[in-house]
Structure formats: C-alpha cells, structure tokens
Amino acid sequence: MLRNRTTPSASSPAPRRFRLLPTLLTGALVAAGIITYATVRATAAESSAAPAAPPAPKVTVAPVEEKLVTDSDEITGHVDAVETVELRARVSGHLDSVHFQAGQLVKAGDLLFTIDPRWYRAQFDLASAKAAVAEREAKRADELLAATAISSEEAEARTARAAEAQAELATARLDLEHTQVRSPIDGRIGRALITKGNLVSGSPGDATLLTTIVSVGDAYVYADLDEATFLTFNRFAREHRAAGRVPVDLELADETDYPRHGFIESSDNRLNPATGSLTLRMVFPNADEALIPGLFARVRVPIGASEPTLLISERAVETDQSQKFVLVVGSDRVASYRTVQLGGTYEGKRIVRRGLRAGDRVIVDGLQHVRPGMAVDPAVATAGAPPASATVALATP
C-alpha cells in the first residue's frame, strides 16, 4: 500500500541537517580567520627576528710574494758634474763681445768671450820689436867678443837682455791670446754673467767670473753614510770586492722604483767627526741628461747579501695609530687583522720584515668596506691591472 508523500509547509520546522549548516559555516569562517591571523603574525615575527643578511663585500686580494732581495739602505745625495769650470778673465779690459747662447753645448777651444785686444796687441808688437833688437845684439856680441871689441861681461849682458826680451814677448803673446776666452772643456755652458761693454778684471785673486761650464755624460752623486751604516756597508764591500764594483741604484724626485743604476767610484779616507758620516762618490750614466748638477736624489746602497724577502703592495698597508697593519683573507673567506713590520721598497713594493708569510692573501682594494672578522667575496688581483685607488706616497717604516 502506497503512502502519500506530503510537502512540508513553510510553518513546519526544517530538518536537522539544514538547521546545523549556518553554524558550521560560521565556525569554518572563524577558524580560517584565526589561521590567517596566526600565519600573518608568524611571518611578521620571523621578519622582525631574522632580517636578510647583506651580501659579502667584494674585495681584491694579492698573494704575499717572496723574492731574493739585497738588504740595502736608502740615503739622500746630490748630483754633481764630473767636470765643472768657473770661467774667469785672465786679463783686464772691457768686454768686447759674447759668442754663445746660454745653455748651449760647447766644445773645448770654442771662442766664448772677446776682451778688447788693442792695448795687448800694441804691447805684443812692442815686445816683438825689443826682442828682435836684443837678439841681433846678442848675435853681434859673439863676433865682437871674438875680436876683443867688447868685454866678456858686456857679451853676457847682451845675451841676458835677449833672453829677457824673449820672456817679455812670451808674456805679451799670452796676454793677447787671453783676450779671446775659450772653453777649456766639452760641456754645457751657463749664462753670461758679464755683458758686453763691462770692465772685467784679470787680477789674480780678484778675477771676474764670466760663466760656468759643466760636463755632460756621466754624473757624480755624493751621499753621506752614517757611522753605523758605514760599518755594515764596509763589511759587505770587503766581501763583495772580489765581484768588482759595488752597484747602487738611484731615483730622482719624480721617479719611482730606482730606475737608474751606477756604481760606487770612491769614498773619503776618513770619517767626518763633526757629522759622524762618510761621503761616498758614485757614478751614474746620464744619457738623457736628466741628472742636472745640484739636484737631490735618493740612492739605494747595498749593505748585505741577497736573501729571501717578503713583498706586498703598498695599497695593502693601513695605519692604526703608530703601527702598520694589513687585512688577510684566509681559506674561510674571512678578513683578519695582522700587524706588520715594514722595511724599504723594492720594485715598487714594500718589504715585510715581520707579520706575514709567503702565500698569505692580503686585501689591496676594497679595504674601506671591510672590518676584521667580516666575510668577504675575494677576487685575485691580475698582474699589471691598474689600481682602483690613487697611488700612495712612499711611507717610512
């Protein structure tokens, strides 16, 4: 028997499953909100607790080199010419003419000045006439003495007068020659210190200085060694004597790396007790004529045998109060602080006496961004690459 299906009316109560649906939806929304809020809070907490680490700074490193270097001392000297002439007048008179330009090269025998020769030519002519007469009288004296026409005393007097006249003639000839002032050496001449028309003096002790001439080519350099350095150098020189001359290097104020090479030519034979130093004289080639007399120069003098020496770039060295330091990058890519004791320079690099080992990698570029203990991103410096910073002046250890 079939049962009639009845449709519930609007006033009839809803089934149980429909009555629970709003409650379930509300609970789901609340749970989702709670989960979202918790996620946002957790994300914010993580962001505030652990900020992202910045990238390691990029730096350039260079290995510490080891080379055989001769122990040396750097001293200051001055350049001088091998030959220097102060050209002075030998006779007195008015300067008639100047025959050169300041700074030009001259040869030995070149005419430089002319002093008015007229008076000296007249004296020469007079001396020539006297000498001729005296010579004839001396020759006749022999004939007259043979004929007993004169005494032997008179004959001797005539011979003496002839010799005296010849001496006066030679003096007059020299004075006339000295009116033409010529260069005694090859070299470069300075400016004329006396101009045309001025009176010059040739008196001994008060002769007028006309100009100066210095030789070109090789140049002398004089430098003083203090007593302690001299004793060390002298010991090295005795051991090195078998190998010949002791080599030395030189640089001018606008040069680096000691590009000029010469040798020690001589030294004083005694120490100056007033200064406690001894002067060395060195010879340097001067093909480019840059070694002008009077210039100051730095000279590197060897004082010990060659030995393995550590070298680093000058750009790696920093100063911390009174001490020098470098930053070394280890295999863990962390920069560490090292104090160093430095020596002089060799081939543009600083000599390291203490504080580093061969193969250590030191930071040469990027030091301003690094502190000891920081991790870095190192790149090895390429040989011959230009520095990233300006050239640093040579420092003293």
pLDDT at 147: 62
Tokens for 16? 């149980």
Output the average pLDDT for the chain. Answer: 83
Domains 58-69+307-380 and 118-178 share a fold: no
Would you say 277 and 226 are in contact if contact means Cβ atoms under 8 Å apart? yes
Rounded CA separation 142/136 (Å): 11
Question: Which CATH code is given to the segment(s) 72-81+219-306?
Answer: 2.40.30.170
Of the options 3.40.50.11540, 3.20.20.370, 3.20.20.210, 2.40.50.100, the CATH number for the domain spanning 89-116+180-216: 2.40.50.100
pTM of the model: 0.65
Sign of dihedral through CA atoms 107, 108, 112, 118?
A: negative
Q: Give pLDDT tens digits for 221-245.
A: 999 999 988 888 888 777 766 456 8
What residues does each domain of the chain span? Answer: 58-69+307-380, 72-81+219-306, 89-116+180-216, 118-178
CATH code at 58-69+307-380: 2.40.420.20
Q: Give a three-class secondary structure readout of 42-92.
A: HHHHHHHHCCCCCCCCEEEEEECEEEEEEEEEEEEEEEEECCEEEEECCCC
pLDDT tens digits for 329-386? 998 999 999 999 988 778 788 889 899 999 899 999 988 888 999 999 899 877 544 4
Q: pLDDT class for 264, splitting at 50, 70, 90? A: very high
pLDDT at 143: 66
Domain covering 118-178, topology? Helix Hairpins (1.10.287)
